[in-house]
Structure formats: C-alpha cells, structure tokens
Amino acid sequence: MADDVPPAGPRRRSPVLIASVAAAVLLVGGGGAYLTSSAVGGSGGGAGSGSPSGDGTPAALLLDDYSGGTGAPEGGTSGIAPGEPNPYGVTYKADGTLPDGPGSAPVYWAKGEVTKDEVARLAKALGAEGTPVVDGEAWKVGAGNDGSGPVLRVNRQAPGMWTFTRYAPGTDNCTAGTDKCTVTPPARSGDPVSEAAAKKAAAPVLKAVGQDGAEVDASQVMGSQRVVNADPVFGELPTYGWTTGISVDAQGEVVGGNGQLETPVKGDTYPLLSAQEALEALNAAPGTDHRMGIGGCASPVPLKDRLESPCGSSTAAPQAQTATVEDAVLGLAPHTSGGRQVLVPSWLFDVTASGVAGGYTVTQPAVEPAYLKSAATPTPTPTASSGTRNVKVDGYTAEGKELTVSFTGGVCGDYKATATESGGEVKVTVTETPWPDKVCILIAKEYHQTVQLAESLGSRKVVGSDGGAIPLEKAGARLPQAQ
C-alpha cells in the first residue's frame, strides 16, 4: 500500500476532508476549445486500475503544479484564464444543483515515443511529402533546403506534440530576379469556408491522429482561415486543454495545424470528489480572501475593478466578487508529473462573471486531496543578488509579426517578455524583477505584453520557457499592458 494513501472505495462526504484542502489547482485551456454542456458518467475503470501495489490502492498522484498548501500564485499554477477574473479574488457560487459524478476515474499518462510510421500517416493526411527523418528531438517531414513547402514536425517523446505549416512565412528580403522568396500565394484569400466544409477538410487529419470521434468546433475564424478545434474523449470523459487545431484556408485546404499525436495510456484509478465538493475546495483555497478592492503599489494604470493605493497607505476593506457556476462537467485536464504530462480527472466549471464578455471555464482536480502530493521543487525567494524569476504565460494572440502574451503577476515588479524563434515554434519567456525595498500586499494582476517577431507566427506553435504549449487567448476583456 502506498504511504499515507487510504484505499480507494465509495465516495466520501466528510467535511473534514474538504476542509483539509490547502489549495486549488487550476488549469484553464484555450485556443477555442470546445466543452460539452452535460455531465459525463461512467467510472472509466475499476478502482485501483493499474495500481503497482496490486491491493486496490492507487499510488499517490504527484503533480508539479499542485501548490500543496500554499494557495498563493507563486505556490503553484494559478491557472487564471487569459482576460478573465483572478480566482484568488473570487468566490464561486453554483446556480442550482451540481452533479455528483462517478465515484472514481483513471488518470491518463503520456508514455513512450512516437514511431516513424505514425508520423508518416499524419504527414500523408496533411499532404506533407517525404520520408520522416530525425531532426534533434523531433521527427521532420517536408520542406526543402530553401525552407519552402509543407513541413511537419513531431516531438519524438509522447504525447508527440506536432505542428504543420503548408507555406513558409513570407519575407520582404528577396533578391531581384530570383524566385526563391517563400511567400503565401496571394490567390489564397477570400471569405472563410463554411463550418461544414472546414470539418470535412480536417476529417482525414483527425482520423490520422486517432481523434475522428472527438468533439469538434469550427466557429473560430482568423482572417480568411477557419480553425477546426477538436477535443478528444478518453474513457468517456471529455478533455480540456488537449485540443487539436487545424486551419483551413478560403480554398478549403488545410494550411496549418497542431496537437498531440500519441494517445495517452490509462493509469491508476482514483476516488473522486463531487462537483459541489470540488467547488468548496476551490473556494477554500488560501488566497481567496485577497478580494477585489484591496490595493498595493499603485501602477500608472489602475487594476481592472480594483481600488488601488501606494504601498504603506491605508486601504479600504476588501470587496468580495462573486462568479456564477452555470454548469459542471467531469472531464480530463492536463498537468505534469516530474515533467511528464498526465490527464487528471477534473471538474470543468462553466463560469460567468459581471464585467467579463461571455463565459469561461475553470478546472479543479476531482481527485480526493488525500491522494494528491506536490512533485514540484520549491522556487527560491528572489533576493537582491538573484533578482528575476520566470513567470508562467497564460495565453497569446498574434497579428502579423506582433505576438501579444498574457500572464499573471504582482503589482510591485517589472516584467519583460522575450521570444526565441525556430522553424516550428516560438518560445516565450516572461521574467519578473521585483522592486527592491517594497512591502506589498499579495494580490495578482493580469498583464499583456507585445513582442516583435522576425517573421509572422503563421502555424508555428507558441510554447513557454518550459516547453509547454501556450493556448490561444480567448476573445474577451483585455487588461492593461505591463508597465
């Protein structure tokens, strides 16, 4: 039996267990992900499935982004959705009765390596010609020496994140009298195709990655292109943040895409909280009494919907903000464990809030807290000598050669976003330099910063400093640029 882990069994309703939750672990996906609106039943496997002990008790689930009791933004992943309210200043209230859900469900692990045959099958569906070759830590298909033509890149390690672009980004540095300029044909403009036509064009690609049964949404439009977003279902549970995105141009041709090629493997089965219990855990997280209205270290641009004042001055009492949970669906949300990706049973809360356009989703692990442990190495507190630290990037938007990223930080520091470009991805790093000799109230603020790229983003994937994919920011309220 795993140390300090109780055996799996029927769902418990102990208020002591709920009160023991030290922090909420939130993860919000983006990029136009589709979310089903009804609860999903089924256990997805027997209790203790795949347990190494063989006695029906799953091993403790170690998560890198589990705050393990701190609850503050720096203690773990804050999971604040781009352009949306800060959960550390919000109380979530259900509009009606929330579902119980099943008593248990398994996790799904990214395991193994992507094979050459798998890459070739995807390349054929995309129209990328050539034999897959090893290119560093990835497989590569297509694109000649001049960099033109379709190119597919697939990470060799599971889950096999892949990116595809049919046309290389254009350049204005062309030599007169040559035909070597890699530009998108000008004829490929016009009105986006219909949703039905886009789904039809994307169907062979989804089949090649084993997601032909995924929930599909084709409502997103970017210029003349229509984007088909697909979220697979594993063990009868929908996923959130595991989206495959496929761009279809005005002529109905797939011109870009990204996603995960490898199907995750079923792991241990864990006892689950009900949606109401998970919501109580979310609201009980330390830091939630940092309500809207409290201030500190006033910046030139006020915080959205907050009263603000300089450090050391008197402040008004916190004002609570309430967001409404319209629905809850049991699904699977991605986390990392020792650097490996794992899909964790989670409640996906469909939330609306005053002052925010449209709804948004907040996810909370459904696994009973007694089975969760933090696998992260504590981040050292910045000192006068170390100074900076990296900040998690929550989302991005792109227009031409401008890439705008959103992230969450405090109100007493300077932030700088930089980007490193390669053929298949753009890696974004945001650093924070705390202001010296300042005592600040611990509150979080959403920032946006814009960085200039050497070439238009195109279909390249945007990743963070840790290599993890950054989701496309959902349309909604834009908050101030970082100062």
Separation between Cα atoms, residue 339 and residue 342, nearest integer Å: 9
pLDDT at residue 394 in the model: 85
CA-based angle 93:239:232, to the nearest 5? 150
Percentage above 90 pLDDT, the chain: 37
* CA–CA dist 343, 333 (Å, integer): 5
Share of residues in the chain with pLDDT > 70 (%)? 64
Would you state the pLDDT for residue 474? 63
Average pLDDT (231-245) is: 93
CB contact at 8 A, 120 and 129: no
Return the H-helix or E-strand segment holding 124: helix 116-126
Least confident range from 27-41, 99-113, 284-298, 426-440: namely 27-41
pLDDT at 301 over 90: no
| Dist CA 432 CA 118 (whole Å) | 41
Tell whether the model's pLDDT for residue 236 goes beyond 70: yes
Q: What is the mean pLDDT of residues 446-472?
A: 86
Cβ-contact 269, 46 below 8 angstroms: yes
State yes or no: pLDDT of 307 exceeds 60.
Answer: no
| Average pLDDT, rounded, for the chain | 73
- pLDDT at residue 308 tops 50: no
Ranking 187-201, 252-266, 317-331 by mean pLDDT, the lowest is: 317-331
What region, left, alpha or beta, does residue 328 occupy, with left being phi > 0 and alpha being psi -120 to 50 degrees? beta
Binned at pLDDT 50, 70 and 90, residue 380 comes out as very low
Over range 228-240, report the average pLDDT.
94
pTM higher than the cut 0.75:
no
Mean pLDDT of 408-423: 84
Distances (CA, A) of 145 to 110, 177, 180: 33, 19, 11
Is the predicted pLDDT of residue 22 greater than 70, yes or no? no
- Read off the pLDDT of residues 114-147 as tens digits, 9 standing for 90 and up: 999 999 999 999 999 999 999 888 999 987 555 5
